[in-house]
Structures are given as structure tokens and as C-alpha cells.
Chains A and B, each alone.
Chain A
Amino acid sequence: MKLDARRIGLSLLAPVLALVVAFVITSLILLLAGDPVAEVWSTLLREPRPRTVVNILNGAVVYYLSAIAVAIGFRMNLFNIGVEGQYRIAAFCAAVVAAQGYLPGFLNILLGLATAMVAGGLWAGIAGYLKVKRGVSEVISTIMLNAIATSLVAWLLTKARDTSAGSGSNVTNTKAIPQSSQLDGFALVPGASNKVYTLLVLAVLVGVLYWFVLGKTRFGFDLRAAGQSETAAVASGVKVPRMVLTTMILSGAVAGLVGMPLLFGQDHNYGTTFQPGLGFAGIGIALLGRNNPIGIGIGALLWSYLDQQSNSLQITAGVAPELVFIIQGVIVLAVVIAYELVRRLSVRLEQSKVARELASPSAPTPEGATA
């Protein structure tokens, strides 16, 4: 199909344009700061070592889940900034429940995942409820809930902390999950001493479900319709308030999974070293991937790649690793701008295409109406 070829071309144009713009802007910043431009890029773009490849994959797994959680909200024009708080609450709850070892090995992991989804979903559901019943913008409420989640978890952590480590320890964490529920990982990358999170499988599964539910089901259609035009959705019989609540809970449930690869594959407990900031990164990545499950995958890999490569910036190029934050930020801005430009272009192209085809003599006559 010709149209599809062009559509693919157009959809590739935007990210490429964005990356080029980000490259140019970052180079300018480096020049202004008097940093070695060539060395920075050669450091950043150097082929990663096997160990780093594993780290990139692991980082991307977590980012992917976070971005999908954000994207679910985006598809219905809801802006769930609260992934940050949702995954923390969820990871804490899952860590506490899984550490009890109520169920053996694998089942215990499933219990942990379910706990996380319920916790994340309920936490996000608060914002959904406030929006539906009180008209509170989900942007505001989820930001507030992030702050509450942070403090709540910190307080609960003091109650649920693992005291077996003895005093004098600086790190506060929950009891470790049983050995039988700790996931070792896949040795996917040859030559690497570390392993890829087993819950890579979970990320893939979530991606497939996201694609299927939103694209192929009636529920997904209702959700997208409500996102594209609330008024049209109402007129078509979608109960928008209920859809808002459902979407928030779904988004929160997926957000709850964000910390799971870390919990079962790396930290084995929830504590002070549990990685923060994943929810915010998810927003940028969802934008980068245009809410498309594959696009988000690519975005997550890119994000994680930059994260990992930033480490050698100081050591090799002598530039602060914060430069990577700048690059990431510039990419997000460039992507949003590039997509808007490309969207306008494609709308123009489509309109003129429709007009052109209609102007051709083969167009049907207006009198074909009698059935």
C-alpha cells in the first residue's frame, strides 16, 4: 500500500529530525561551555561493552514499563505524572508481601507482581476518583500524590525495616525476599558477567497486551475515542467518567510493575537504594515513542543507552555526566516539535491527496445515492 510506505517514511522522519536537532543543539552547548565536542560524541557513541549492553537492556526494561504506564494515560488524554509515586508504593508493598514468602518460589513472584499492580492501581485510582468526582486535574493530584507516596513509603519503611542487619547500617530496607523467589536473570549477552533481568519477559508481555487491548478491543476503542474527542466519545455512548477511572487504575497498575525487575532481579528488597526517578523518565520516553509499543521500546533503549554511556563521559571525555540530562531534555523537546511539524506536513499532504484524487475524472458522480 502506497499510503503506508509514505506513512512509515513520515513516522521515521520525526524521530530522525529530532535526533539531528538534539545533536546540533547539544554540540552548540558543548562549544559554548568550552568542552571537547568530538571527544564527547565519540565517548557517547562508542560501541558499548557487553557488560554495558546488559545494563542498557536492564535499564530499558524498567523504563519501558514506566513509559507504557504513562502512555496508557496519554491515549485517553490523561496525564499521569504519578507513575513516580505509584511505582514506589507498589514496589514497597510488593517487597513487604513477597518477603513473607506466603507462597513458594514462582508463585510468590506472581503474588508480588499482583500486589504491585493492585497497590499501584489503587494509588492511581485516588487521582482518577478525584478527577471524576471532584473535577481535580489529574496533573495536580498525581503530583501531590507523588509527594505523599514518598513520605508515606519513607514512614512505612521505618516500620517495616529489616532489623537483622544490626545497628550502624546506613541503609534502611525491608526484609529480603526469599532466595527461591529471587530471579537470577538471562545470560543473553555473550561476554558479559552480568545478566539481563528475567522480568524482561514481563515488559514484553505488557507491551503486547498494551498493543492488543488498545488496538484490537472494544474497550481500547472506547478509550482511544475518549482520548481523541471526549465529546464524540460521550455521544457514541462511552461513559467518560468511568473510562477516566479505569484508565487511571490501569495506568497505575502497570506503573506498579515498574519496580518489579529491580525488586526480583537486583535489589531483593525495597530500601534506600531503590532507584528513584523512573516515573519521570517514563513521561519523556512515552513522548519519544509516540505511545506506540515499539516506538516506546526504541525510546527506552535510547534513554538507557544515553544513561549508561554517560558514565564514561567524566572518565574518558572529562565532561560532567549531567550533559546526558541535557541531551535527553533536548531530545524530548525536539521530538515534540518535530512531531508537530511532521503532523502538520502529513495533514497537508493527506488533504491535498484527497483533493487531488477527487479532482480526477474517475471520481464517482454525486448521483450514486439511490440504494
Chain B
Amino acid sequence: MANKDITFSVAKGTIHALVGENGAGKSTLMKILYGVQRADEGTIAIDGVVKTFKSPSDAIAAGVGMVFQHFMLADNLTVLENVVLGAEKRHGIGDGARERIRAISTEYGLGIDPDELVADLGVGARQRVEILKVLYRGAQVLILDEPTAVLVPQEVDELFDNLKALTREGLTILFISHKLDEVLSVADDITVIRRGTTVATVDPATVNSRQLAELMVGSELPTPQTEESTVTDRAVLAVEHLVLSARTGTRRVLDDLSFTIHAGEVLGIAGVEGNGQAELVEVIMGMREPSAGKVFLQGTDISDWDVREIREAQVGYIPEDRHRHGLLLEAPLWENRILGHQTQRPNVKGPLIDAAGAKTDTTRIVEDYDVRTPSIFVTAGSLSGGNQQKLIIGREMAHDPKVLVASHPTRGVDVGAQASIWSHLKRARREGLAVLLISADLEELIGLSDTIRVILRGRLSDPFDPDTVTAEQLGAAMTGAGAGAAGAVGTAGTAGDAAPDPEATR
């Protein structure tokens, strides 16, 4: 039973936010509301009428629409084709549908041209296409799952304007997010879920984000506040004039990057996704060979080392996409504890796997890092995102890393897990770890980093001081609109409208 006794009601024409830790039962609730999964008990009523959803099509018929966190769009089709796909019966696939899409777009101010290719759209616009898709199917109730996770601040504001426009037209919105400040700014009501039950429904006017977070976790929590600087003058990871050309063509994905991270220092890299962050990590971790330039680990040139050598040299790695790069979802937790450290104790004895050693240490990680799981024998895929991430961090920390390459370490993770991950990072930093922190969460970057640099089209900006920089300044640098970005090649418009780098979203 993932949920028990969830009760809340959403008033028509309002934005109702649903917040809770990962694993608190939000996803299950979503699935039930959208007909993917069925509730064992209880009812769902729309406009006072009790409905049963056996499948998503029932939910759609009842006017419930879902906008998923991961877009479900075919890049090589136009907006029109994407929207009518699976809903051909509504207005056909031709001019009728085109007119209808234009009408919806105008009515709610979405600014979507039906004949544009989805591949040419930015992230924000893609999200609006997703919303349009749902509206096209006649939805009166919209469920948005973490809609801001992929957006930069400016885009978030645009989205919120759109949502408010929708509610003005009488639509009802159920909004799920981890970002409490956003929730507070946009929602009319907020329901908090903890461990499968509704804890409280609060008025955003009467709470602040800290109180809200404590409601979610059920206890007090820390904030990502930079502590006393622990930066030493001992360089651990140095990157010099690093260049990486795209696999096809001569375009530079990484363009002459240089930086040094010292023991006890956290270097934060901000940037809109697809500007070279993923490639930077791949080069440092040895997954790709740089076209030019060098990477040094404590003075040793590791540019041509392979992944395993780099791992054995105590470079910890928290991958951006834990499902693709960090875990074997179908394997039990203790085997996942071995992953990435297949040649190191306590996982192996000579050429043999030391299952007992790995299991013992997995149990330790589960306890020390509060990985919530019934046992170390369940598959990694059955854990919630936050718990998966805690397992990964526990695993990487277990091998006393000198450098930690952390890509979006708290993405898709609830505030409770986020706090604990932050505290682990800070502790490691105090102990002299050099951290390369790549994140889209500006608050996290500002709170944890000793230095922040912005990456834009493969080039790094001059350093920002996290004590003085604001999220807006960083946002401007990330989109190339600000003066602070060294690599800023002036382009108008928001980053969301710039085509994402296909190389990076591979």
C-alpha cells in the first residue's frame, strides 16, 4: 500500500499544489488520478460525481489531463501532428485540428504555432505543447508533475502566467512540485503528503517555505548555507584548455575550458541543460576522449585514462541520470553497491565477487545514509528517486573519494533527502574533498559552492561569488543575456527558445 487515506479537494478554477517527499506517495496518487493504477478503497469525485478510472482514457473522458515531467513528444513531428496523435477523432488531422490548436493557443496565451517542428522548440515551448495536448483532449482538470524541474527562472515565470490564465478560464490545476518557493508563489491551496497520507492543507499566505518543508518531512531541517570556507591551496582536479568537438562536424561542444578545484572546494557549474555540462563530466570521468586539453588529478595527467582507472584513482561520480548511468534497475541493491567499484574492496576478493562483503557494506550504507528500503535484496528500480540517490552517494562516499563529480545530485529528490545529501556534501568538503557540482537548482549552487561559473555553449563564464550573486544574475548569464557571462555571444530571447544541443540530449 503506497497510499492510505488521502483526502483533499480542489476548488474549480484554482491552482492546487501537492507537495511531499519522494516516496511519500505522490506518484502513486498521480497514477490513480490518471487511471494508470486503481485505488483499493476510496473515491474520486469530479464536480461532485464519483468517477472510476480504469484506464487513462477514462480519465481523459472525465476531463482529467496529465502533463508529465518527461515530455512525451516526437521530435521529428510538428506540433499539430503531436497534438492530434491518438486524438484523431476529435477534430481530424487537418485544418479542423489546426484551427482548434490556434484557438486554444490564443485563448490561453500559449503562443504555439501548430506547424512548427517540435525539434525546433525550446523546453518551455515544449511544455506548453504538452499542456495544449491535454487541453485539446478537452481536459478541465490539469495535473502537472514537477513542471518547473526543466525550466530556467524566466521560463518558470512564463509558465505561472500561463497557469493563471488557465484558471481564469475556469480550469482547475493540480500542481506537483518540490520547489516550495514556487509552490508558495503560484498555488491557491497547498496539500502536504507524508508517507502516503495527507498531513495538512494550508493556505500559502499563512506559511513560509521552511514551515512547509517541515510539514513535509515532519521535523526541522537544515538549509544549504555556505559554511566557513574550507578551501585549501592544494589543487586536486585541474582542467586545462579542454576542447571537445562534436561527434559529427567540427562544432566545439566544449570550448577551451580551464579551471582548478582545490581540496575542500566546491566549484558550482550553472547552465541551461545542453550547454556542455554532460560532456564535461564524460570527459573528466574518462567516458570520452578530449579533442584537446588535459585533465589533471593531483598533478597527474589523467586525460587518456579509462573510466575504471579514474574510478580507482578515487574520483567519485554522481551521474546526472541515475537510471541510465548510476544504477542497474533490475539488480538488487547490494549488486548496485558494487557497480562502479567492481575492482575495489569490499566488493571483490581477487577476481571473485565478495558478495558477503558487498552486502555488509550495503547494509551500512542503507543505515548511514537513510536509504529507505525493506531490505538490500529488493531491486534498485523499486526504490523512490531520493532513496536511489542516497544509495549512490553512500556508495561513492564509501571509497574515500578525492574528487566528487556530482551532476544534479538532488534532482527529483524530496526535501528530506535533499537536506541529507547537502549535509553529506558539506561534510565531505570539510574533510578536504574537491567537488565539481553541476546543478540546475540555483539555490543549491549558491548555497553549496565556493565558486560558481556558468557554462554557455561550451564556454565558461568568469567566476561568480555565491555570497553576492543572485539567481536572476545567474539566470541572465545562463541565457547569454547578461553582461557577466564571459562566453556570452549576444542572442536575444530566452534560452528556452534556443534549440537544445542534440549532442547533449543524446
Contacts and interface: CB of A to CB of B under 8 A. Distances in A.
Touch between chains A and B, by CB atoms below 8 Å = yes
Contacts of B1: 352, 355-356, 359
A235 B392 CA distance: 13
A241 to B, nearest CB: 11
Contacts of B319: 235
A366 B222 CA distance: 12
A218 B342 contact: yes
Contact of B352 (A216, A235, A350, A359): A216
Contacts of B382: 347, 350-351, 353-354
- Interface-centre pick from B309, B351, B383 (highest chain A CB count, 10 A): B351
B335 A221 contact: yes
Given A235-B307, A237-B308, A356-B1, A217 B367 contact: no
B317 A235 contact: yes
Nearest to A357: B374
B377 interface: yes
A239 B306 contact: yes
Contacts of A354: 373-374, 378, 382-383
Contacts of A364: 367, 370, 372
Nearest to B195: A359
Interface string A331-371: 00000000000000001001111111111000111111111
A245 to B, nearest CB: 16
Contacts of B324: 229, 231-232
Nearest to B285: A235
Nearest to B219: A367
B264 interface: no
Given A217-B353, A218-B342, A229-B328, A370 B372 contact: no
A232 B370 contact: no
A237 B381 CA distance: 21
Interface in B189-204: 195-196
Nearest to A356: B1
- Interface-centre pick from A229, A235, A364, A365 (highest chain B CB count, 10 A): A235
B412 interface: no
Interface string A215-245: 0111111101100110110111111000000
A228 B327 CA distance: 10
Interface in B301-360: 306-312, 317, 319, 321, 324-331, 335, 338-343, 348, 351-353, 355
Interface in B161-199: 195-196
Interface in B261-280: none
B23 interface: yes
A3 interface: yes
Interface in A299-341: none
Interface residues of A, number: 41
A352 B310 CA distance: 38
B331 A347 contact: no
Contacts of B330: 228
Contact of A369 (B25, B311, B383, B420): B420
Interface in A153-172: none
Given A216-B352, A235-B325, A350-B378, A366 B339 contact: no
Given A216-B353, A369-B369, A237 B306 contact: yes
A290 to B, nearest CB: 13
A102 B337 CA distance: 50
Contacts of A352: 1-2
A366 B353 contact: no
A50 to B, nearest CB: 42
Given A216-B352, A354-B383, A236 B370 contact: no
Contact of B375 (A3, A224, A355): A3
Nearest to A348: B37
Given A355-B2, A355-B196, A363-B372, A234 B287 contact: yes
Contacts of B287: 234-235
A358 B401 CA distance: 31
Nearest to A234: B287
Contacts of B217: 366
B216 to A, nearest CB: 10
Contacts of B458: none
B183 to A, nearest CB: 20
A355 B2 CA distance: 5
Contacts of B306: 237, 239
A347 B382 CA distance: 7
Contacts of B339: 225, 232, 236
A284 to B, nearest CB: 23
A236 B315 CA distance: 11
B328 A234 contact: no
A218 B343 contact: yes
Interface in B1-36: 1-2, 4, 21, 23, 25, 28
A237 B338 CA distance: 12
B116 interface: no
A218 B328 CA distance: 15
B2 A236 contact: no
Nearest to B339: A236
B399 interface: no
Given A236-B342, A366-B219, A358 B423 contact: no
A347 B312 CA distance: 34
A225 to B, nearest CB: 6
A219 B338 CA distance: 12
B424 interface: yes
B383 A368 contact: no
Nearest to B322: A232
B368 A237 contact: no
B417 interface: yes
A355 B379 CA distance: 13
Given A225-B339, A232-B325, A358 B352 contact: no
Given A354-B382, A355-B196, A369 B423 contact: yes
A368 B366 CA distance: 10
Contacts of B355: 216
Contact of A353 (B25, B329, B374, B417): B374
B340 A235 contact: yes
Nearest to B369: A369
Contacts of B420: 366-367, 369
- Interface-centre pick from B343, B352, B369 (highest chain A CB count, 10 A): B352
Contacts of A351: 2, 382
Interface string B84-95: 000000000000
B351 A219 contact: yes
A357 B348 CA distance: 31
A229 B311 CA distance: 18
A38 to B, nearest CB: 41
B26 to A, nearest CB: 12
A236 B374 contact: no
A340 to B, nearest CB: 13
B328 A225 contact: yes
- Interface-centre pick from A221, A350, A352, A368 (highest chain B CB count, 10 A): A221
Contacts of B23: 355, 358
A216 B338 CA distance: 12
B41 to A, nearest CB: 14
Given A3-B377, A369-B368, 11 more contacts: A218-B342, A218-B352, A221-B342, A232-B325, A237-B307, A237-B342, A354-B373, A354-B378, A357-B374, A367-B420, A369-B420
Question: Lowest 9 A-B CB distances belong to which pairs?
Answer: A237-B308, A355-B2, A369-B420, A357-B374, A236-B340, A366-B416, A237-B307, A235-B325, A231-B324
10 contacts: A216-B353, A216-B355, A228-B330, A232-B339, A236-B342, A237-B342, A356-B2, A358-B23, A365-B219, A365-B370
Interface of A: 1, 3, 216-222, 224-225, 228-229, 231-232, 234-239, 347, 350-359, 363-371
